[in-house]
Structure 1
Amino acid sequence: MADQSQLFPGKQFISTVLGALETKTVMSGALIRIYLMRAAMAGTIIGVMYLTYYTVLAAFDGIARGELVGVGHMVGAVVFGFALVFIYYSKSELLTSNMMIVTVGAYYRSAAWWRLLRILVFCYAGNIIGGLFVALMVRLSTLGGGEVGAEMSEAVDHKLAYLGEGVAGWGDLFVRAIFCNLMINLAMLLVYNGLIKSDVGKMLVMIASVFVFGFVGFEHSVANTVLFMIVGLQQSLDIGLVLGNLGIVLLGNYIGGGLLIGLYYAYANDDRRFHRD
Protein backbone atom coordinates (compact mmCIF):
# COMPACT_ATOMS: atom_id res chain seq x y z
CA MET A 1 0.00 0.00 0.00
CA ALA A 2 1.39 3.40 -1.00
CA ASP A 3 2.19 5.87 1.77
CA GLN A 4 -0.73 8.31 1.89
CA SER A 5 1.50 11.05 3.31
CA GLN A 6 3.39 10.91 0.02
CA LEU A 7 0.30 10.57 -2.14
CA PHE A 8 -1.46 13.49 -0.42
CA PRO A 9 1.27 15.68 1.12
CA GLY A 10 -1.10 18.62 1.49
CA LYS A 11 -3.50 17.03 3.97
CA GLN A 12 -2.16 19.22 6.78
CA PHE A 13 -2.80 22.27 4.61
CA ILE A 14 -6.41 21.20 3.98
CA SER A 15 -6.99 20.43 7.66
CA THR A 16 -5.59 23.81 8.74
CA VAL A 17 -7.64 25.70 6.16
CA LEU A 18 -10.88 23.93 7.10
CA GLY A 19 -10.21 24.68 10.76
CA ALA A 20 -9.66 28.35 9.93
CA LEU A 21 -12.83 28.34 7.84
CA GLU A 22 -14.89 27.06 10.76
CA THR A 23 -13.68 29.97 12.89
CA LYS A 24 -14.36 32.50 10.15
CA THR A 25 -17.85 31.09 9.56
CA VAL A 26 -18.77 31.54 13.22
CA MET A 27 -17.17 34.98 13.48
CA SER A 28 -18.84 36.34 10.34
CA GLY A 29 -22.19 35.31 11.80
CA ALA A 30 -22.50 35.41 15.58
CA LEU A 31 -19.48 37.70 16.10
CA ILE A 32 -19.90 39.95 13.07
CA ARG A 33 -18.68 43.13 14.81
CA ILE A 34 -15.48 41.43 15.91
CA TYR A 35 -15.01 39.97 12.44
CA LEU A 36 -15.41 43.41 10.87
CA MET A 37 -12.88 44.80 13.35
CA ARG A 38 -10.36 42.12 12.40
CA ALA A 39 -10.96 42.81 8.71
CA ALA A 40 -10.66 46.56 9.31
CA MET A 41 -7.28 46.00 10.94
CA ALA A 42 -6.09 44.20 7.82
CA GLY A 43 -7.23 47.15 5.69
CA THR A 44 -5.44 49.52 8.05
CA ILE A 45 -2.23 47.52 7.84
CA ILE A 46 -2.41 47.43 4.05
CA GLY A 47 -2.98 51.19 3.99
CA VAL A 48 -0.11 52.07 6.31
CA MET A 49 2.35 49.72 4.60
CA TYR A 50 1.31 50.83 1.10
CA LEU A 51 1.83 54.44 2.17
CA THR A 52 5.27 53.39 3.43
CA TYR A 53 5.98 51.71 0.08
CA TYR A 54 5.36 54.95 -1.82
CA THR A 55 7.31 56.92 0.78
CA VAL A 56 10.30 54.66 0.09
CA LEU A 57 9.91 55.25 -3.65
CA ALA A 58 9.80 59.00 -3.10
CA ALA A 59 12.89 58.86 -0.86
CA PHE A 60 14.99 57.05 -3.45
CA ASP A 61 13.75 59.35 -6.19
CA GLY A 62 14.78 62.30 -4.02
CA ILE A 63 18.30 60.93 -3.64
CA ALA A 64 18.94 60.68 -7.37
CA ARG A 65 16.21 61.74 -9.76
CA GLY A 66 15.29 58.72 -11.87
CA GLU A 67 18.59 56.90 -11.32
CA LEU A 68 17.54 54.80 -8.33
CA VAL A 69 13.99 53.98 -9.36
CA GLY A 70 14.69 50.24 -9.57
CA VAL A 71 16.42 50.17 -6.20
CA GLY A 72 13.54 52.10 -4.65
CA HIS A 73 11.04 49.62 -6.04
CA MET A 74 13.03 46.68 -4.64
CA VAL A 75 13.38 48.18 -1.17
CA GLY A 76 9.77 49.35 -1.14
CA ALA A 77 8.55 45.90 -2.16
CA VAL A 78 10.51 44.27 0.67
CA VAL A 79 9.07 46.75 3.18
CA PHE A 80 5.54 46.21 1.87
CA GLY A 81 6.09 42.47 2.27
CA PHE A 82 5.82 42.90 6.03
CA ALA A 83 2.14 43.80 5.56
CA LEU A 84 1.23 40.13 5.11
CA VAL A 85 3.35 39.21 8.14
CA PHE A 86 1.57 41.77 10.31
CA ILE A 87 -1.84 40.64 9.06
CA TYR A 88 -1.09 36.97 9.70
CA TYR A 89 0.34 37.38 13.19
CA SER A 90 -2.27 39.92 14.31
CA LYS A 91 -5.00 37.45 13.24
CA SER A 92 -6.52 40.05 10.95
CA GLU A 93 -8.81 39.16 8.04
CA LEU A 94 -7.69 39.83 4.46
CA LEU A 95 -10.03 39.28 1.51
CA THR A 96 -7.48 37.79 -0.87
CA SER A 97 -6.33 34.97 1.43
CA ASN A 98 -9.94 34.27 2.39
CA MET A 99 -10.70 33.69 -1.30
CA MET A 100 -8.52 30.59 -1.09
CA ILE A 101 -9.96 29.46 2.23
CA VAL A 102 -13.64 29.66 1.22
CA THR A 103 -12.93 27.85 -2.07
CA VAL A 104 -11.36 24.92 -0.21
CA GLY A 105 -14.42 24.96 2.04
CA ALA A 106 -16.74 24.98 -0.97
CA TYR A 107 -14.94 21.98 -2.48
CA TYR A 108 -15.31 19.97 0.71
CA ARG A 109 -18.83 21.34 1.34
CA SER A 110 -17.83 22.47 4.82
CA ALA A 111 -20.37 25.32 4.89
CA ALA A 112 -23.36 26.56 2.92
CA TRP A 113 -22.48 28.72 -0.08
CA TRP A 114 -24.16 31.78 1.40
CA ARG A 115 -22.06 31.50 4.56
CA LEU A 116 -18.92 31.35 2.44
CA LEU A 117 -20.05 34.37 0.43
CA ARG A 118 -20.84 36.20 3.68
CA ILE A 119 -17.24 35.71 4.82
CA LEU A 120 -15.93 37.39 1.66
CA VAL A 121 -18.48 40.23 1.64
CA PHE A 122 -17.94 41.22 5.27
CA CYS A 123 -14.19 40.76 4.98
CA TYR A 124 -14.00 43.15 2.03
CA ALA A 125 -16.31 45.58 3.85
CA GLY A 126 -14.00 45.53 6.85
CA ASN A 127 -10.92 45.94 4.66
CA ILE A 128 -12.55 49.00 3.10
CA ILE A 129 -13.37 50.46 6.52
CA GLY A 130 -9.76 50.08 7.62
CA GLY A 131 -8.48 51.53 4.37
CA LEU A 132 -10.85 54.46 4.63
CA PHE A 133 -9.55 55.18 8.14
CA VAL A 134 -6.00 55.39 6.77
CA ALA A 135 -7.15 57.52 3.84
CA LEU A 136 -8.84 59.98 6.21
CA MET A 137 -5.75 60.16 8.42
CA VAL A 138 -3.57 60.84 5.40
CA ARG A 139 -6.00 63.54 4.23
CA LEU A 140 -5.78 65.25 7.62
CA SER A 141 -1.97 65.21 7.61
CA THR A 142 0.94 65.94 5.30
CA LEU A 143 1.83 62.25 4.93
CA GLY A 144 0.40 62.10 1.42
CA GLY A 145 1.83 65.41 0.24
CA GLY A 146 4.80 66.33 -1.91
CA GLU A 147 6.72 63.56 -3.66
CA VAL A 148 4.85 60.83 -1.81
CA GLY A 149 1.53 62.12 -3.11
CA ALA A 150 2.99 62.42 -6.60
CA GLU A 151 4.13 58.76 -6.49
CA MET A 152 0.69 57.57 -5.38
CA SER A 153 -1.09 59.73 -7.94
CA GLU A 154 1.15 58.41 -10.71
CA ALA A 155 0.44 54.86 -9.58
CA VAL A 156 -3.32 55.48 -9.69
CA ASP A 157 -3.06 56.96 -13.18
CA HIS A 158 -1.16 53.87 -14.29
CA LYS A 159 -3.71 51.48 -12.77
CA LEU A 160 -6.67 53.31 -14.33
CA ALA A 161 -4.95 53.57 -17.71
CA TYR A 162 -5.44 49.82 -18.25
CA LEU A 163 -9.17 50.47 -18.65
CA GLY A 164 -8.57 52.92 -21.50
CA GLU A 165 -6.49 50.46 -23.52
CA GLY A 166 -9.39 48.27 -24.55
CA VAL A 167 -9.37 44.48 -24.35
CA ALA A 168 -5.57 44.31 -24.32
CA GLY A 169 -5.41 46.56 -21.26
CA TRP A 170 -8.18 44.68 -19.48
CA GLY A 171 -6.38 41.40 -20.17
CA ASP A 172 -3.09 42.81 -18.89
CA LEU A 173 -4.77 43.94 -15.66
CA PHE A 174 -6.54 40.60 -15.31
CA VAL A 175 -3.34 38.57 -15.67
CA ARG A 176 -1.53 40.76 -13.14
CA ALA A 177 -4.40 40.22 -10.69
CA ILE A 178 -4.27 36.44 -11.18
CA PHE A 179 -0.53 36.28 -10.53
CA CYS A 180 -0.86 38.57 -7.52
CA ASN A 181 -3.13 36.31 -5.51
CA LEU A 182 -1.41 33.20 -6.80
CA MET A 183 1.72 34.47 -5.04
CA ILE A 184 -0.11 35.60 -1.89
CA ASN A 185 -1.84 32.27 -1.42
CA LEU A 186 1.20 30.26 -2.44
CA ALA A 187 2.81 31.81 0.64
CA MET A 188 -0.21 30.89 2.77
CA LEU A 189 -0.07 27.34 1.40
CA LEU A 190 3.53 27.05 2.62
CA VAL A 191 2.63 28.58 5.98
CA TYR A 192 -0.40 26.33 6.51
CA ASN A 193 1.08 23.01 5.35
CA GLY A 194 3.08 22.51 8.54
CA LEU A 195 6.45 21.94 6.87
CA ILE A 196 7.85 25.34 7.83
CA LYS A 197 8.29 25.13 11.59
CA SER A 198 9.92 28.45 12.50
CA ASP A 199 8.28 31.85 12.59
CA VAL A 200 11.30 33.29 10.77
CA GLY A 201 10.76 30.84 7.91
CA LYS A 202 7.07 31.74 7.69
CA MET A 203 7.87 35.45 7.67
CA LEU A 204 10.45 35.07 4.91
CA VAL A 205 7.95 33.18 2.74
CA MET A 206 5.30 35.88 3.20
CA ILE A 207 7.73 38.74 2.59
CA ALA A 208 9.07 37.03 -0.54
CA SER A 209 5.60 36.49 -2.01
CA VAL A 210 4.57 40.11 -1.51
CA PHE A 211 7.95 41.28 -2.82
CA VAL A 212 7.25 39.49 -6.10
CA PHE A 213 3.81 41.07 -6.43
CA GLY A 214 5.04 44.53 -5.44
CA PHE A 215 8.20 44.59 -7.54
CA VAL A 216 6.84 43.00 -10.71
CA GLY A 217 3.68 45.10 -10.62
CA PHE A 218 0.88 42.64 -9.96
CA GLU A 219 -2.55 43.92 -8.93
CA HIS A 220 -4.09 43.42 -5.49
CA SER A 221 -7.76 44.30 -4.97
CA VAL A 222 -7.50 45.47 -1.35
CA ALA A 223 -4.28 47.43 -1.92
CA ASN A 224 -5.85 49.10 -4.97
CA THR A 225 -9.01 49.90 -3.01
CA VAL A 226 -7.03 51.59 -0.27
CA LEU A 227 -4.80 53.47 -2.72
CA PHE A 228 -7.83 54.75 -4.63
CA MET A 229 -9.37 56.03 -1.39
CA ILE A 230 -6.15 57.76 -0.28
CA VAL A 231 -5.69 59.51 -3.62
CA GLY A 232 -9.42 60.03 -4.11
CA LEU A 233 -9.61 62.15 -0.97
CA GLN A 234 -6.78 64.30 -2.33
CA GLN A 235 -8.07 64.74 -5.89
CA SER A 236 -11.00 63.72 -8.07
CA LEU A 237 -10.96 60.29 -9.70
CA ASP A 238 -13.13 58.75 -12.42
CA ILE A 239 -15.40 56.47 -10.36
CA GLY A 240 -16.26 54.38 -13.42
CA LEU A 241 -12.60 53.60 -14.08
CA VAL A 242 -11.99 52.89 -10.39
CA LEU A 243 -14.88 50.42 -10.23
CA GLY A 244 -13.81 48.87 -13.53
CA ASN A 245 -10.30 48.31 -12.20
CA LEU A 246 -11.56 46.80 -8.95
CA GLY A 247 -14.04 44.54 -10.72
CA ILE A 248 -11.37 43.05 -12.99
CA VAL A 249 -8.81 42.77 -10.19
CA LEU A 250 -11.27 41.11 -7.79
CA LEU A 251 -12.11 38.48 -10.40
CA GLY A 252 -8.44 37.93 -11.25
CA ASN A 253 -7.51 37.68 -7.58
CA TYR A 254 -10.21 35.06 -7.05
CA ILE A 255 -8.94 32.96 -9.94
CA GLY A 256 -5.34 33.24 -8.76
CA GLY A 257 -5.96 32.49 -5.10
CA GLY A 258 -9.33 30.76 -5.06
CA LEU A 259 -9.00 28.48 -8.07
CA LEU A 260 -5.30 28.09 -8.86
CA ILE A 261 -4.36 27.55 -5.21
CA GLY A 262 -7.55 26.74 -3.26
CA LEU A 263 -9.40 24.49 -5.72
CA TYR A 264 -6.18 23.08 -7.20
CA TYR A 265 -4.82 21.84 -3.87
CA ALA A 266 -8.22 20.85 -2.52
CA TYR A 267 -8.61 18.46 -5.45
CA ALA A 268 -4.97 17.29 -5.40
CA ASN A 269 -5.25 16.32 -1.73
CA ASP A 270 -8.71 14.75 -1.78
CA ASP A 271 -8.07 11.20 -0.59
CA ARG A 272 -11.73 10.25 -0.83
CA ARG A 273 -11.19 9.08 -4.42
CA PHE A 274 -8.26 6.95 -3.22
CA HIS A 275 -10.41 5.15 -0.66
CA ARG A 276 -13.18 4.57 -3.21
CA ASP A 277 -10.70 3.00 -5.61
Structure 2
Amino acid sequence: MSYLNPSEFATKMIDAGESKVFMSTRDTVIRAYMAGAILALAAAFAVTITVQTGQPLVGALLFPVGFCMLYLLGFDLLTGVFTLVPLALIDRRPGVRVRSVLRNWGLVFVGNFAGALTVALMMAVIVTFGFSMDPNEVGQKLGEIGASRTVGYADHGGAGMLTLFIRGVLCNWMVSTGVVAAMMSTSVSGKVIAMWMPILVFFYMGFEHSVVNMFLFPSGLMLGGDFSIADYFVWNEIPTVVGNLVGGLTFVGLTLYATHARTGAPRSRPLPPEPAAELPAKVNV
Protein backbone atom coordinates (compact mmCIF):
# COMPACT_ATOMS: atom_id res chain seq x y z
CA MET A 1 0.00 0.00 0.00
CA SER A 2 1.54 3.33 -1.07
CA TYR A 3 -0.35 5.46 1.49
CA LEU A 4 0.72 5.94 5.10
CA ASN A 5 -1.87 6.89 7.68
CA PRO A 6 -1.33 10.08 9.75
CA SER A 7 0.05 8.32 12.84
CA GLU A 8 2.71 6.65 10.66
CA PHE A 9 3.89 9.77 8.84
CA ALA A 10 3.81 11.78 12.09
CA THR A 11 6.49 9.40 13.40
CA LYS A 12 8.42 9.89 10.15
CA MET A 13 8.30 13.66 10.72
CA ILE A 14 9.94 13.34 14.14
CA ASP A 15 12.53 10.85 12.84
CA ALA A 16 13.36 13.21 9.96
CA GLY A 17 13.84 16.12 12.36
CA GLU A 18 16.14 14.05 14.55
CA SER A 19 18.27 12.91 11.61
CA LYS A 20 18.74 16.51 10.44
CA VAL A 21 19.93 17.59 13.89
CA PHE A 22 22.75 15.03 13.87
CA MET A 23 23.72 15.44 10.20
CA SER A 24 27.32 16.55 9.61
CA THR A 25 28.02 20.21 8.90
CA ARG A 26 29.30 19.35 5.42
CA ASP A 27 26.19 17.39 4.42
CA THR A 28 23.82 19.97 5.93
CA VAL A 29 25.39 22.85 3.99
CA ILE A 30 25.67 20.93 0.70
CA ARG A 31 22.05 19.79 0.83
CA ALA A 32 20.88 23.29 1.74
CA TYR A 33 22.99 24.84 -1.04
CA MET A 34 21.49 22.56 -3.67
CA ALA A 35 17.96 23.12 -2.35
CA GLY A 36 18.38 26.90 -2.57
CA ALA A 37 19.83 26.67 -6.07
CA ILE A 38 17.13 24.36 -7.45
CA LEU A 39 14.30 26.40 -5.92
CA ALA A 40 15.86 29.56 -7.37
CA LEU A 41 15.93 27.97 -10.82
CA ALA A 42 12.27 27.04 -10.42
CA ALA A 43 11.43 30.64 -9.47
CA ALA A 44 13.34 31.94 -12.52
CA PHE A 45 11.47 29.39 -14.63
CA ALA A 46 8.10 30.53 -13.29
CA VAL A 47 8.88 34.23 -13.80
CA THR A 48 10.02 33.53 -17.37
CA ILE A 49 6.81 31.63 -18.13
CA THR A 50 4.68 34.38 -16.61
CA VAL A 51 6.43 37.08 -18.65
CA GLN A 52 6.27 35.14 -21.92
CA THR A 53 2.66 33.97 -21.59
CA GLY A 54 1.21 36.85 -19.61
CA GLN A 55 -0.53 34.24 -17.44
CA PRO A 56 0.65 34.07 -13.79
CA LEU A 57 -1.41 30.91 -13.28
CA VAL A 58 0.70 29.02 -15.83
CA GLY A 59 3.89 30.00 -13.98
CA ALA A 60 2.37 28.92 -10.67
CA LEU A 61 1.23 25.60 -12.13
CA LEU A 62 4.78 24.78 -13.23
CA PHE A 63 6.81 26.24 -10.33
CA PRO A 64 6.36 23.14 -8.09
CA VAL A 65 8.58 21.10 -10.44
CA GLY A 66 11.63 22.55 -8.64
CA PHE A 67 10.23 21.89 -5.18
CA CYS A 68 9.44 18.28 -6.06
CA MET A 69 12.91 17.70 -7.51
CA LEU A 70 14.80 19.03 -4.53
CA TYR A 71 12.80 17.01 -1.98
CA LEU A 72 12.99 13.82 -4.00
CA LEU A 73 16.78 14.34 -4.04
CA GLY A 74 16.85 14.71 -0.25
CA PHE A 75 17.85 18.39 -0.10
CA ASP A 76 16.71 20.77 2.66
CA LEU A 77 14.95 24.12 2.66
CA LEU A 78 14.84 26.44 5.66
CA THR A 79 11.04 26.29 5.58
CA GLY A 80 11.09 22.51 5.96
CA VAL A 81 13.57 22.34 8.84
CA PHE A 82 11.59 25.04 10.66
CA THR A 83 8.76 22.52 10.85
CA LEU A 84 10.51 19.17 11.30
CA VAL A 85 13.59 19.75 13.46
CA PRO A 86 11.82 21.23 16.53
CA LEU A 87 9.64 18.10 16.74
CA ALA A 88 12.68 16.04 17.74
CA LEU A 89 13.28 18.49 20.59
CA ILE A 90 9.64 18.49 21.67
CA ASP A 91 9.60 14.68 21.55
CA ARG A 92 12.68 14.63 23.81
CA ARG A 93 14.82 12.59 21.47
CA PRO A 94 18.19 11.83 23.16
CA GLY A 95 20.88 14.42 22.46
CA VAL A 96 18.58 16.96 20.81
CA ARG A 97 19.01 20.38 22.40
CA VAL A 98 17.88 23.92 21.60
CA ARG A 99 21.45 24.72 20.56
CA SER A 100 21.50 21.86 18.04
CA VAL A 101 18.18 22.99 16.55
CA LEU A 102 19.49 26.54 16.12
CA ARG A 103 22.72 25.17 14.62
CA ASN A 104 20.73 23.29 11.98
CA TRP A 105 18.62 26.32 11.15
CA GLY A 106 21.70 28.54 10.83
CA LEU A 107 23.55 26.14 8.53
CA VAL A 108 20.51 25.61 6.32
CA PHE A 109 19.96 29.37 6.07
CA VAL A 110 23.57 29.91 4.96
CA GLY A 111 23.42 27.03 2.46
CA ASN A 112 20.08 28.11 0.99
CA PHE A 113 21.27 31.71 0.65
CA ALA A 114 24.51 30.68 -1.06
CA GLY A 115 22.67 28.44 -3.54
CA ALA A 116 20.02 31.04 -4.35
CA LEU A 117 22.64 33.77 -4.70
CA THR A 118 24.64 31.64 -7.13
CA VAL A 119 21.61 31.23 -9.40
CA ALA A 120 20.74 34.94 -9.02
CA LEU A 121 24.17 35.84 -10.37
CA MET A 122 23.87 33.32 -13.22
CA MET A 123 20.45 34.63 -14.22
CA ALA A 124 21.68 38.24 -14.09
CA VAL A 125 24.45 37.27 -16.51
CA ILE A 126 21.98 35.54 -18.84
CA VAL A 127 19.39 38.35 -19.02
CA THR A 128 22.06 41.04 -19.61
CA PHE A 129 24.45 39.07 -21.86
CA GLY A 130 27.16 39.24 -19.23
CA PHE A 131 26.16 42.75 -18.05
CA SER A 132 26.89 44.12 -21.52
CA MET A 133 23.34 45.38 -22.14
CA ASP A 134 20.19 46.39 -20.30
CA PRO A 135 18.13 43.56 -18.74
CA ASN A 136 15.68 41.84 -21.07
CA GLU A 137 12.00 41.59 -20.26
CA VAL A 138 12.51 38.81 -17.69
CA GLY A 139 15.28 40.78 -16.01
CA GLN A 140 13.11 43.88 -15.82
CA LYS A 141 10.36 41.83 -14.19
CA LEU A 142 12.78 40.53 -11.56
CA GLY A 143 13.75 44.10 -10.68
CA GLU A 144 10.09 45.14 -10.41
CA ILE A 145 9.27 42.24 -8.08
CA GLY A 146 12.06 43.26 -5.71
CA ALA A 147 10.87 46.85 -5.49
CA SER A 148 7.17 46.09 -5.09
CA ARG A 149 7.77 43.55 -2.31
CA THR A 150 10.13 45.69 -0.23
CA VAL A 151 9.44 49.39 -0.73
CA GLY A 152 5.83 48.45 -1.45
CA TYR A 153 5.45 47.11 2.09
CA ALA A 154 7.47 49.96 3.62
CA ASP A 155 5.06 52.50 2.11
CA HIS A 156 2.35 51.12 4.41
CA GLY A 157 4.46 51.19 7.58
CA GLY A 158 3.28 48.90 10.38
CA ALA A 159 0.35 47.63 8.32
CA GLY A 160 2.78 46.64 5.57
CA MET A 161 5.00 44.79 8.05
CA LEU A 162 1.97 42.92 9.42
CA THR A 163 0.88 41.99 5.90
CA LEU A 164 4.38 40.75 5.08
CA PHE A 165 4.49 38.64 8.25
CA ILE A 166 1.07 37.07 7.60
CA ARG A 167 2.08 36.24 4.03
CA GLY A 168 5.14 34.49 5.47
CA VAL A 169 2.94 32.53 7.88
CA LEU A 170 0.55 31.43 5.15
CA CYS A 171 3.43 30.54 2.86
CA ASN A 172 5.01 28.01 5.17
CA TRP A 173 1.63 26.65 6.21
CA MET A 174 1.32 25.55 2.59
CA VAL A 175 4.98 24.72 1.91
CA SER A 176 5.37 22.59 5.04
CA THR A 177 2.11 20.87 4.19
CA GLY A 178 3.84 19.91 0.95
CA VAL A 179 6.89 18.63 2.85
CA VAL A 180 4.73 16.48 5.11
CA ALA A 181 2.45 15.40 2.27
CA ALA A 182 5.44 13.78 0.56
CA MET A 183 5.71 11.48 3.60
CA MET A 184 2.18 10.19 3.07
CA SER A 185 3.18 8.10 0.08
CA THR A 186 5.92 5.58 -0.70
CA SER A 187 5.63 6.05 -4.49
CA VAL A 188 7.26 8.83 -6.51
CA SER A 189 4.02 9.73 -8.26
CA GLY A 190 2.14 9.89 -4.97
CA LYS A 191 4.78 12.15 -3.42
CA VAL A 192 4.79 14.50 -6.41
CA ILE A 193 1.00 14.85 -6.51
CA ALA A 194 0.83 15.47 -2.77
CA MET A 195 3.57 18.13 -2.91
CA TRP A 196 2.29 19.86 -6.03
CA MET A 197 -1.06 21.01 -4.64
CA PRO A 198 -0.02 23.17 -1.64
CA ILE A 199 3.03 24.58 -3.47
CA LEU A 200 0.77 25.75 -6.31
CA VAL A 201 -1.44 27.52 -3.74
CA PHE A 202 1.48 29.33 -2.08
CA PHE A 203 3.08 30.53 -5.31
CA TYR A 204 -0.06 31.71 -7.08
CA MET A 205 -1.31 33.55 -3.98
CA GLY A 206 1.94 35.53 -3.74
CA PHE A 207 2.84 34.41 -0.24
CA GLU A 208 6.37 35.16 1.00
CA HIS A 209 8.91 32.31 0.94
CA SER A 210 12.25 33.15 2.55
CA VAL A 211 14.31 30.97 0.18
CA VAL A 212 12.56 32.07 -3.02
CA ASN A 213 13.19 35.63 -1.89
CA MET A 214 16.91 34.83 -1.47
CA PHE A 215 16.89 34.58 -5.27
CA LEU A 216 14.35 37.22 -6.29
CA PHE A 217 15.77 40.15 -4.34
CA PRO A 218 19.53 39.76 -4.91
CA SER A 219 18.84 39.25 -8.61
CA GLY A 220 16.61 42.33 -8.57
CA LEU A 221 19.42 44.37 -6.99
CA MET A 222 21.87 43.16 -9.65
CA LEU A 223 19.39 44.15 -12.36
CA GLY A 224 18.76 47.70 -11.21
CA GLY A 225 15.77 47.28 -8.91
CA ASP A 226 14.84 50.49 -7.08
CA PHE A 227 15.47 49.28 -3.51
CA SER A 228 18.46 48.74 -1.22
CA ILE A 229 20.03 45.79 0.60
CA ALA A 230 18.66 47.25 3.86
CA ASP A 231 15.17 47.40 2.31
CA TYR A 232 15.50 43.74 1.36
CA PHE A 233 16.46 42.50 4.82
CA VAL A 234 14.26 44.81 6.93
CA TRP A 235 11.20 44.89 4.67
CA ASN A 236 11.26 41.34 3.42
CA GLU A 237 13.77 38.66 4.41
CA ILE A 238 13.77 38.99 8.21
CA PRO A 239 9.96 39.28 8.67
CA THR A 240 9.47 36.52 6.10
CA VAL A 241 11.81 34.17 7.98
CA VAL A 242 9.91 34.82 11.22
CA GLY A 243 6.56 34.32 9.50
CA ASN A 244 7.75 31.10 7.85
CA LEU A 245 8.88 29.78 11.25
CA VAL A 246 5.56 30.58 12.91
CA GLY A 247 3.47 29.24 10.03
CA GLY A 248 5.28 25.94 9.55
CA LEU A 249 5.78 25.07 13.19
CA THR A 250 2.38 26.22 14.47
CA PHE A 251 -0.02 25.16 11.73
CA VAL A 252 1.76 22.03 10.49
CA GLY A 253 4.40 20.63 12.84
CA LEU A 254 2.76 21.13 16.24
CA THR A 255 -0.79 20.39 15.12
CA LEU A 256 0.13 17.08 13.48
CA TYR A 257 2.38 16.16 16.41
CA ALA A 258 -0.31 16.94 18.97
CA THR A 259 -3.13 15.05 17.31
CA HIS A 260 -1.33 12.13 15.62
CA ALA A 261 1.93 11.50 17.50
CA ARG A 262 0.74 12.41 21.00
CA THR A 263 -2.99 11.95 20.80
CA GLY A 264 -5.21 12.80 23.72
CA ALA A 265 -6.82 10.10 25.80
CA PRO A 266 -10.06 8.94 24.16
CA ARG A 267 -13.29 9.76 25.92
CA SER A 268 -14.95 6.91 27.71
CA ARG A 269 -17.89 5.46 25.90
CA PRO A 270 -21.25 5.31 27.71
CA LEU A 271 -22.28 1.84 28.72
CA PRO A 272 -25.31 0.44 26.90
CA PRO A 273 -28.46 0.48 29.02
CA GLU A 274 -29.18 -2.74 30.88
CA PRO A 275 -32.22 -4.67 29.63
CA ALA A 276 -35.30 -4.28 31.79
CA ALA A 277 -35.83 -7.15 34.24
CA GLU A 278 -38.66 -9.46 33.25
CA LEU A 279 -41.57 -9.72 35.69
CA PRO A 280 -42.33 -13.24 36.94
CA ALA A 281 -45.21 -14.94 35.20
CA LYS A 282 -48.54 -14.76 37.10
CA VAL A 283 -49.58 -18.12 38.54
CA ASN A 284 -53.32 -18.93 38.61
CA VAL A 285 -54.49 -20.68 41.77
Between the aligned partners of 2:98 and 2:108, the Cα distance in structure 1 is 15
Between the aligned partners of 1:271 and 1:225, the Cα distance in structure 2 is 36
Residues 1:154 and 1:126: Cα distance change in structure 2 (over 3 Å): same
2:209 to 217, 220, 226: 220
Between the aligned partners of 1:270 and 1:140, the Cα distance in structure 2 is 48
Deviations 1:203-236 (A, max 9, x none): 1221221111111111101101111111222226
1:54 and 2:54 equivalent?
Answer: no
The answer on whether the counterparts of 2:20 and 2:85 sit within 8 Å (CA) in structure 1 is no
Structure 2 equivalent of residue 39 of structure 1: 32
The answer on whether the counterparts of 1:82 and 1:206 sit within 8 Å (CA) in structure 2 is no
1:268 and 2:263 equivalent?
Answer: no
1:158 and 2:151 equivalent?
Answer: no
2:13 to 6, 17, 29: 17
Between the aligned partners of 1:139 and 1:73, the Cα distance in structure 2 is 21
Between the aligned partners of 1:158 and 1:75, the Cα distance in structure 2 is 21
Residues 1:271 and 1:262: Cα distance change in structure 2 (over 3 Å): closer
Matches within 5 A, 1:243-258: 243-244=233-234, 245-258=236-249
Structure 1 equivalent of residue 114 of structure 2: 129
Larger relative contact order (CA 8 Å, sep ≥ 6): 1
RMSD over equivalenced CA pairs, Å = 2.0
Deviations 1:232-257 (A, max 9, x none): 22226312221121111111111111
1:108 and 2:70 equivalent?
Answer: no
Between the aligned partners of 1:271 and 1:123, the Cα distance in structure 2 is 28
Between the aligned partners of 1:114 and 1:172, the Cα distance in structure 2 is 31
Between the aligned partners of 2:243 and 2:19, the Cα distance in structure 1 is 26
Residue identity matched to 1:108: D
Q: Count how many residue pairs are aligned between Structure 1 and Structure 2.
A: 253
Between the aligned partners of 2:120 and 2:179, the Cα distance in structure 1 is 28
Structure 2 equivalent of residue 200 of structure 1: 189
Deviations 1:115-154 (A, max 9, x none): 1111111001000110111122123323793110121112
CA shift for structure 1 position 270: 4.0
Greater share of residues in helix: 1
Secondary structure of the corresponding residue to residue 92 of structure 2: coil
Q: Which has the larger radius of gyration?
A: 2
Between the aligned partners of 2:263 and 2:202, the Cα distance in structure 1 is 35
Q: Which runs of 5+ in 1 are unaligned?
A: 1-8, 62-71
The answer on whether the counterparts of 2:170 and 2:247 sit within 8 Å (CA) in structure 1 is yes
Q: Which runs of 5+ in 2 are unaligned?
A: 130-134, 269-285
Residue identity matched to 1:249: T
The answer on whether the counterparts of 1:107 and 1:266 sit within 8 Å (CA) in structure 2 is no
Aligned-residue sequence identity (percent) comes to 28
Between the aligned partners of 2:159 and 2:263, the Cα distance in structure 1 is 42
1:229 to 215, 218, 231: 218
Residues 1:103 and 1:34: Cα distance change in structure 2 (over 3 Å): closer
Structure 1 equivalent of residue 103 of structure 2: 118
Secondary structure of the corresponding residue to residue 154 of structure 2: helix
Structure 1 equivalent of residue 174 of structure 2: 183
Secondary structure of the corresponding residue to residue 141 of structure 1: helix
Between the aligned partners of 1:155 and 1:204, the Cα distance in structure 2 is 29
Residue identity matched to 2:105: L
The answer on whether the counterparts of 1:156 and 1:228 sit within 8 Å (CA) in structure 2 is yes
The answer on whether the counterparts of 1:176 and 1:219 sit within 8 Å (CA) in structure 2 is yes
Structure 2 equivalent of residue 171 of structure 1: 162
